[in-house]
Amino acid sequence: MQPHGRAGSPGVISPGSLCAGPAYLLSWEVFPLEDIISVFVPLIQNVGFPIACVFGMFYFWNKERMDHKEELKAVTEAVTNNTLALQRLSDKLSHD
């Protein structure tokens, strides 16, 4: 499986490279089911099912964390805009 460039370059995931650690899971994009299976079957065979589950949970936890970070930026911007609008409204009411 060669999703990005050639083997050995950053972002390239191969079944043998997954044993190096969870850092490879951070660069995953959406892959077809066949590619996911071709990665996880050797991983389960090499390190066992519980360890493979830890890798999977780490990937999904990190993805959720990154998604939440983006959501929080949007909420922060909305709160800032609302604060400014309330301040302008308060200024207009106090001048009347």
Residue 70 predicted with pLDDT over 60: yes
Residue 86 predicted with pLDDT over 90: yes
Question: What pLDDT is recorded for position 21?
Answer: 47
The rounded mean pLDDT for the chain is 75
Residue 18 predicted with pLDDT over 60: no
Percentage with pLDDT > 90 across the chain: 30
Tell me if the pTM is above 0.85.
no
Cα-based distances in Å from 75 to 54, 66, 79, 83, 87 = 31, 15, 6, 12, 18
Instruction: Please choose, from the candidates 68, 88, 92, 91, the residue with its C-alpha nearest in 3D space to the C-alpha of residue 80.
Output: 88
